[in-house]
Amino acid sequence: MGLVLEGVTKRVGARTHLHPVDLSLAAGSLTVLLGQTLAGKTSLMRLMAGLDVPSEGRVRAGGRDVTGWPVRRRNVAMVYQQFINYPSLTVFENIASPLRVARLPRAEIEARVREAARLLRLDPYLQRRPLELSGGQQQRTAIARALVKRADLVLMDEPLANLDYKLREELREELPRIFAATGAIFVYATTEPAEALLLGGHTATLHQGRVTQFGPTAEVYRRPDDLVTAQVFSDPPLNTLAGTKAGGRVALATGGQARAAGPLAAVPDGPYTLAIRAHHLSLDPLGPEAITVPASVEVAEITGSESFVHVAAGEHRFVVQRPGVRRLEPGTAVSVHLDPHHLLLFDEAGRRAAATPAQAAA
């Protein structure tokens, strides 16, 4: 069963929660909805599920127009941030609960629960109650209860957000395996770019109620269509710097000039926004083509495995992500080096800058 959204919008009073959305999700696919809080992810999922009716547009499932159909008429399962389980029931009975409501035969309930428990690695815990489980095991139980319905559409609204780091990492690694074992459409909402990259599939980036880009996750990450999409898909925040290309040089808003290498070499003269992710910046020299910006350290955050060095260059702020421990005192003079080949380049309208045919062929 495929799911198609055609010009779907959602307004509440004078406020537009979702601007027109067009998406086509194939059976067996995984789509990540990536965006900050209030970007529109939950509003979009509620329209997919039938919990809300679109103000305009149509929702088609399996070729049928299901716009306005309530959720009870759709074969949908949902998993939320808060793992919702029945505390008085065993894990087995929690997973089996939607099947008992549907009055399936006992033997089929047993088979489905065992299958879901095996997939979620809950076999040893089926006779325990939720309060006897870890947070990760409780969320696995909630996911198993969603999967056991064999729903055509499974919606997961930031399901790992309330787990600690270790449990999140454990489930993040396992979810692609779990998704691949079913034929359902999975839609997974998250605020974390790293989670989207780990899950793979396709990603729709959302900002202020608009889907800014939709495509294979790695492609959206590497080739964002616009500056907003690049910012949504960057954590730590995307570093940006204004620059004007003239001939083979680029004048930087921080002062100074640099050679127009990398993407800058292939675009026409004019003003651009140079954007680069924190892990592509360096405090160590990178070679003759690198763009170098004098700066001073504001603060260095050390997480153990890596360091985030916040620096200032006049009115500009940058975050440099480096592996290992970099202890730098506030006020220390440093040089920030940008590898031009890792630049994301955007024009004055914020769209990805394109090379002219002659320059692209050069």
Per-residue pLDDT of 172-222, as tens digits, reads 777 887 787 777 899 999 999 999 999 999 999 999 999 999 999 999 999
Q: Which residue has the tokens 């396709």?
A: 202
CATH of domain 3-227: 3.40.50.300
192 neighbors 235 (Cβ within 8 angstroms): yes
Q: Which CATH architecture has domain 239-361?
A: Beta Barrel (2.40)
DSSP run (H or E) holding 137: helix 135-147
Contacts (Cβ under 8 Å, ≥6 apart) of 241? 252, 253, 254, 273, 274, 275, 293, 316, 338
Per-residue pLDDT for 358 more than 70? Answer: no
Question: Which pLDDT score, from 0 to 100, does residue 359 have?
Answer: 47
Mean pLDDT of the chain: 90
Global pTM reads 0.89
37 neighbors 191 (Cβ within 8 angstroms): yes
Percent residues over pLDDT 90 in the chain: 67
Residue 64 burial by Cβ neighbours in a 10 Å radius (0-12, 13-18, 19+): exposed
Question: Which pLDDT score, from 0 to 100, does residue 324 have?
Answer: 85
Q: For residue range 239-277, what is the model confidence (pLDDT) as tens digits?
A: 999 999 998 999 999 988 899 999 999 999 999 999 999
Interval 58-62 mean pLDDT: 93
Residue spans per domain, the chain: 3-227, 239-361
**What pLDDT band is residue 356 in, cutting at 50, 70 and 90?**
low
8-state DSSP, 328: -
